């Protein structure tokens, strides 16, 4: 399928890359763009040749937010009856394969929230994160007040969301929003691809289960979460890959996964 606002490639074995590509608007996340993103995510999620997904933008902008021009005239009843922004949740509710965000340049408003929805966030040290919605007379609407607060704590999140002050990629790394930071765009993309390729080299069922249980920790208390983890752990004894992985260890061989 050809897209207007994104590009899709398969740059490494098992890795599907989605590049937000609406340069004239710094990748502002309009509804048509999100529809294409969702289509591409679902296509990779159901593709037998893909195990990990990389989501990136340009060097200048991961995404400068939801499309302000699209939102400016929206009424309450239109937003409410059409569940405006709800379709953004597909990434967190439906997609089972891990998604790595590689963020360079602006990741503002909905762009910051989109990055926070991904499973692993990498960025350049000078990436420009923020939730500037307050300056537009509104608030984060795609999970920012919840995910950013979980990630960096109430004190910093409240300050950022109420002042609209931005934070750097370096700070994102220090505060635990980003798993790793990189000095340049080239290193960022290479680092993200390497990680995606590493993940894609493991048993797909184990990777998907790992993503599922870590994400559960965001919604459950520790006791329920540990129980949930144990159930999923038990279920993996039903996979062929668990047998293959442990047998290969015992025989000092490389595991050849069947993904079953």
Q: Which residues contact 226 (CB under 8 A, 6 or more apart)?
A: none
Tokens of 236: 């993996």
- Closest residue to ligand HXC in the complex (CB): 109
113 is catalytic: yes
Q: How far is the CB of 163 from ligand HXC (least distance, A)?
A: 13
Please work out, in degrees rounded to the nearest 5, the angle formed at the alpha carbon of residue 18 by the alpha carbons of 49 and 68.
Answer: 150
CA angle (170 as vertex; 62, 199 as ends), nearest 5: 65
Least CB distance from residue 120 to ligand HXC, whole Å? Answer: 21
- Active-site annotation holder among 110, 130, 141, 143: 110
Q: At its nearest, how many Å lie between ligand HXC and the CB of residue 85?
A: 5
- Reduced to 3 states (helix: H, G, I; strand: E, B; else coil), residue 47 is coil
Annotation marks residue 14 as catalytic: no
Nearer to ligand HXC, 168 or 242 (CB): 168
- Residue 75 burial (10 A CB sphere; 0-12, 13-18, 19+): exposed
* H-run or E-run covering 209: helix 204-216
For ligand HXC, the binding residues (CB under 6 A) are 25-26, 28, 64-69, 85, 106, 108-110, 113, 132-133, 136, 140-142
From 63, 133, 141, 210, the catalytic residue: 133
Q: Measured from the CB of residue 35, what is the shortest distance to ligand HXC in angstroms?
A: 14
**Residue with Cβ nearer ligand HXC (2 or 81):** 81
Residue 52 or 117 with smaller CB distance to ligand HXC: 117
Structure tokens at 176: 């635990």
Active site members = 66, 110, 113, 133
């Amino acid at each position: 399928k050809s897209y207007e606002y994104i590009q899709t490639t398969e740059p490494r074995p098992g890795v599907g890359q989605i590049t937000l590509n609406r340069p004239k608007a710094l990748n502002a996340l309009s509804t048509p763009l999100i529809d294409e993103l969702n289509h591409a995510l679902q296509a990779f999620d159901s593709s037998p040749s893909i195990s990990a997904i990389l989501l990136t933008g340009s060097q200048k902008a991961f995404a400068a937010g939801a499309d302000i021009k699209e939102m400016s005239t929206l009424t309450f009843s239109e937003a409410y009856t059409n569940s405006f922004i709800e379709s953004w949740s597909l990434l967190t509710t439906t997609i089972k394969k891990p998604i790595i965000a590689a963020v360079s340049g602006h990741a503002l408003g909905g762009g910051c929230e989109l990055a926070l929805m991904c499973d692993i966030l990498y960025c350049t040290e000078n990436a420009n994160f923020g939730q500037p919605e307050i300056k537009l007379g509104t608030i984060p609407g795609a999970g920012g007040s919840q995910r950013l607060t979980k990630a960096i704590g109430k004190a910093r999140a409240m300050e950022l969301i109420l002042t609209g002050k931005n934070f750097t990629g370096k700070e994102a790394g220090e505060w635990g929003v980003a798993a790793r930071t990189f000095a340049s765009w080239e290193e960022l993309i290479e680092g993200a691809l390497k990680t995606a390729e590493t993940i894609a080299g493991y048993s797909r069922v184990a990777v998907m289960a790992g993503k599922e249980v870590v994400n559960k920790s965001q919604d459950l208390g520790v006791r329920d979460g540990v129980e949930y983890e144990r159930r999923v752990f038990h279920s993996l004894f039903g996979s062929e890959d668990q047998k293959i992985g442990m047998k290969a260890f015992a025989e000092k061989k490389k595991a050849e996964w069947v993904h079953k």
